[in-house]
């Protein structure tokens, strides 16, 4: 899952792709680099700025989704917790709603039930646009993630969402200290008891910065380490910013693990042998 932000204040790119044209070009680049789907977000999760209206968020994401799903033919997810935005995004071509609040507004589930869109349920105890770092959760964070996601699955089902429409996300950094995120990451295999695919969104996250002392754009190596751990734990979908680098990592990993064949005639082409 490649990330394309349609907000000017993303923590990871700081609005580096400022126009719809720029964002469509980025989506095309991510697809060429190996992304299977594009996650479009219209509101940054940064907590030092207020939430925007649903109308403003719709204005940001709908033109982008129309072009990425239409011109590029991509599978698109919309990163939003607002039912009105989810509905508009689905009408524009999105097939999945990636709710980073874990159905703080259950009407989002109703939208998915009515439209047949997929729904990603994320663990967090923090309200939208608010940071929560609660040390009292240190001892029970893993159990809380399991219980919360199980309860949210039940809530989505009562709203008419089919079990097969659902995916779960343990929410690294969302309402968690770096220590708590590490604890959740270590316990990822336990989430398979929920019976749904697991989305792993660790790209450039704060816990990686805390462990390495790196700012967001310097966290690629740490992201790859977290991705490797997640794959070993059975994660199904990887939400990342650096699609080309993660694709390279996955290609080499698969070859060395014997998961793909390597031809005897494999050679390095001459133009790749030296840096010019």
- pLDDT value for 44: 82
- pLDDT value for 251: 97
Look at residues 3, 23, 1, 11 and name the one whose alpha carbon lies nearest to residue 129. 11
The structural domain count of the chain equals 1
Spell out the per-residue pLDDT of the chain, length 276, in tens. Answer: 999 999 875 555 555 657 999 999 999 999 999 999 999 999 987 776 788 999 999 999 999 999 999 999 999 999 999 999 999 999 999 999 999 999 999 999 999 999 999 999 999 999 987 888 999 999 999 999 999 999 999 999 999 999 999 999 999 999 999 999 999 999 999 999 999 999 999 999 999 999 999 999 999 999 999 999 999 999 999 999 999 999 999 999 999 999 999 999 999 999 999 887
Look at residues 21, 22, 16, 23 and name the one whose alpha carbon lies nearest to residue 2. 23
- pLDDT value for 12: 54
Q: What is the CATH number of the domain that holds 183?
A: 3.20.20.20
- pLDDT value for 260: 95
Has 205 been annotated as catalytic? yes
- pLDDT value for 48: 67
Biggest alpha carbon distance in the chain? 60
**Phi, psi for residue 141 in degrees, rounded to 5:** -65, -40
SS3 225: helix
The distance from CA 246 to its chain's CA centroid, rounded to whole angstroms, is 14
29, 239, 253, 273: the catalytic one is 239
Cβ within 8 Å of residue 127, ≥6 positions away: 101, 104
Look at residues 41, 59, 46 and name the one whose alpha carbon lies nearest to residue 3. 41
- pLDDT value for 50: 80
Cβ within 8 Å of residue 88, ≥6 positions away: 58, 61, 62
Task: Return d(Cα 241, Cα 259) in angstroms, integer.
Answer: 25
Give the domain extent around 103: 2-272
- pLDDT value for 275: 82
Eight-class DSSP state of 167? E
67, 152, 205, 219: the catalytic one is 205
Task: Return d(Cα 42, Cα 63) in angstroms, integer.
Answer: 11
SS3 41: strand
Dihedral angle of Cα 222, 227, 230, 236, to the nearest 10 degrees: 160
Structure tokens at 183: 């604890």
pTM above 0.85, yes or no: yes
Structure tokens at 108: 């989002």
């Amino acid at each position: 899952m490649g990330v394309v932000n349609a907000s000017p204040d993303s923590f990871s790119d700081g609005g580096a792709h400022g126009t719809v044209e720029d964002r469509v070009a980025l989506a095309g680049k991510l697809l060429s680099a190996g992304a299977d789907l594009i996650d479009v977000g219209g509101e940054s999760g940064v907590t030092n700025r207020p939430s925007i209206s649903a109308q403003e968020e719709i204005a940001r994401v709908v033109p982008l989704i129309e072009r990425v799903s239409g011109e590029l033919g991509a599978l698109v997810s919309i990163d939003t917790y607002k039912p009105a935005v989810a509905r508009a995004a689905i009408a524009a071509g999105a097939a999945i709603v990636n709710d980073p609040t874990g159905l703080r507004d259950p009407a989002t589930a109703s939208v998915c039930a009515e439209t047949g869109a997929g729904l990603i349920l994320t663990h967090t105890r923090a309200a939208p646009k608010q940071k929560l770092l609660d040390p009292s959760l240190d001892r029970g964070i893993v159990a809380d993630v399991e219980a919360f996601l199980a309860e949210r699955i039940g809530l989505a089902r009562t709203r008419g969402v089919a079990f097969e429409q659902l995916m779960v996300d343990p929410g690294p950094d969302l309402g968690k200290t770096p220590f708590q995120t590490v604890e959740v990451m270590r316990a990822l295999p336990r989430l398979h008891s929920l019976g749904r695919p697991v989305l792993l969104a660790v790209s450039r996250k704060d816990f990686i910065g805390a462990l390495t002392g790196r700012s967001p754009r310097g966290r690629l190596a740490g992201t790859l380490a977290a991705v490797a751990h997640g794959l070993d734990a059975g994660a199904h979908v990887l939400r990342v910013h650096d699609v080309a680098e993660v694709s390279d990592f996955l290609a080499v990993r698969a070859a060395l693990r014997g998961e793909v064949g390597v031809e005897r005639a494999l050679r390095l082409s001459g133009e790749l042998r030296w840096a010019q």
